[in-house]
Structure 1
Amino acid sequence: MGYHSILNNYCKNIYLIGSGNFWSDERETGDDKSILYRLYRTILFSTYAFVTILEIMAALFGEFPEDEASDSVTFAVSHTIVMIKIFSVVLNKELVRSMNQDMIKACEKYEEEAVVLETYRSVKINAISYFATVYGSAACFCFEGYRKMKAGSHFVTVVTFYPGFEDDSTSATMFRVFTTVVLFLMLMTMFLTVDSFTMAYLIMLKYKFITLRHYFERLRLEFDEINKSGNTRLAAEKLANGLVEGIVMHQELLKLGKNIDKAFGTVIAMQLCQSSGSAVSLLLQIALSDQLTFIASMKIIFFVLALFFLLGLFLCNAGEITYQASLLSDAIFYCGWHACPPLPPPHRNHQRLVRHACAQALRPPVMKAFKMIDLTYGTFLTVLRATYSVFALFYAQNK
Structure 2
Amino acid sequence: MRNYLILKTLCKKIYWVGSGNFWYEEGVIRDDNSIFYKIFNHGLFLTYGFMTLLEILAALIGDFPEDEKSDSITFAVSHTIVMIKIFSVISNKKLVKKLIRDLIKVCELYEEDSLMVEKYRIMKINIVAYVFIVYGSTACFVFEGLRKMHVGSHFVTVVTYYPSYGEDSLLAVITRITTTFVLIIMMLTMIVSVDCFALANLIIFKYKFITLKGYFEKLKEDFDKLLETGNPRKAAEQLTQGLIAGIIMHKELIRISTEIDKAFGTILALQLFQSSGSAVSLLLQITLSDQLTLVARMKILFFIIALFFLLGLFLCNAGDITYQASLLSDSIFYCGWHSCPSQYPSKARRNLGLLVLQACAQSQRPIVMKAFKMLELTYATFLLVVRGTYSVFALIYAQNQ
Structures share a fold, TM > 0.5?
A: yes
1:225 is aligned to 225
Q: Which amino acid aligns with 2:301?
A: I
How far apart in 1 are the matches of 2:262 and 2:314? Answer: 15
Q: Give structure 1 stretches of 5+ with no counterpart.
A: none
Contact 2:18 2:41 in 1 (8 A): yes
Contact 1:7 1:100 in 2 (8 A): yes
- 1:1-399 equivalent positions in 2, closer than 5 A: 1-341=1-341, 342-343=344-345, 349-399=351-401
How far apart in 1 are the matches of 2:117 and 2:281? Answer: 40
Judge which range, 288-297 or 348-357, deviates more. Answer: 348-357
How far apart in 1 are the matches of 2:216 and 2:60? Answer: 58
How far apart in 2 are the matches of 1:28 and 1:388? Answer: 48
Q: Which amino acid aligns with 1:197?
A: F
Q: CA deviation at 1:117?
A: 0.8
Contact 1:343 1:349 in 2 (8 A): no
Q: CA deviation at 1:101?
A: 1.1
Deviations 1:246-298 (A, max 9, x none): 00111111111111110000000000000000000001111111111111000
How far apart in 1 are the matches of 2:252 and 2:106? Answer: 7
Q: CA deviation at 1:60?
A: 0.2
How far apart in 1 are the matches of 2:24 and 2:223? Answer: 39
How far apart in 1 are the matches of 2:275 and 2:373? Answer: 18
Contact 2:56 2:73 in 1 (8 A): yes
Contact 1:316 1:377 in 2 (8 A): yes
Q: CA deviation at 1:343?
A: 3.3
How far apart in 2 are the matches of 1:70 and 1:176? Answer: 17
Question: Where do 4+ consecutive residues of structure 1 move more than 4 Å?
Answer: 344-348
- DSSP 3-state at the match of 1:161: coil
Contact 1:155 1:176 in 2 (8 A): yes
Q: Which amino acid aligns with 2:354?
A: R
How far apart in 2 are the matches of 1:295 and 1:166? Answer: 22
Q: CA deviation at 1:329?
A: 0.1
Q: CA deviation at 1:53?
A: 0.4
How far apart in 1 are the matches of 2:254 and 2:13? Answer: 28
Contact 1:240 1:349 in 2 (8 A): no
Deviations 1:296-322 (A, max 9, x none): 000000000000000000000000000
Judge which range, 337-346 or 31-40, deviates more. Answer: 337-346
Deviations 1:153-205 (A, max 9, x none): 00000000000000011100000011111101111110001001111111111
Q: Which amino acid aligns with 2:103?
A: M
Q: Give the RMSD, CA atoms, in angstroms.
A: 1.1
How far apart in 2 are the matches of 1:281 and 1:343? Answer: 69
Contact 2:340 2:349 in 1 (8 A): no
Contact 2:10 2:197 in 1 (8 A): yes
Contact 1:19 1:189 in 2 (8 A): yes
Q: Give structure 2 stretches of 5+ with no counterpart.
A: none
Q: Which amino acid aligns with 2:235?
A: A
How far apart in 2 are the matches of 1:358 and 1:297? Answer: 52
How far apart in 2 are the matches of 1:172 and 1:114? Answer: 55
- DSSP 3-state at the match of 2:31: coil
Q: CA deviation at 1:27?
A: 2.3
How far apart in 1 are the matches of 2:203 and 2:25? Answer: 24
Q: CA deviation at 1:353?
A: 1.0
Q: Kindly, what percent of the aligned residue pairs are identical?
A: 62
Deviations 1:76-100 (A, max 9, x none): 0000000000000000111111111
Contact 2:328 2:363 in 1 (8 A): yes
- Compute the TM-score of the two structures, normalised by the length of structure 2: 0.98
How far apart in 1 are the matches of 2:245 and 2:28? Answer: 32
**How many residues align structurally?**
399
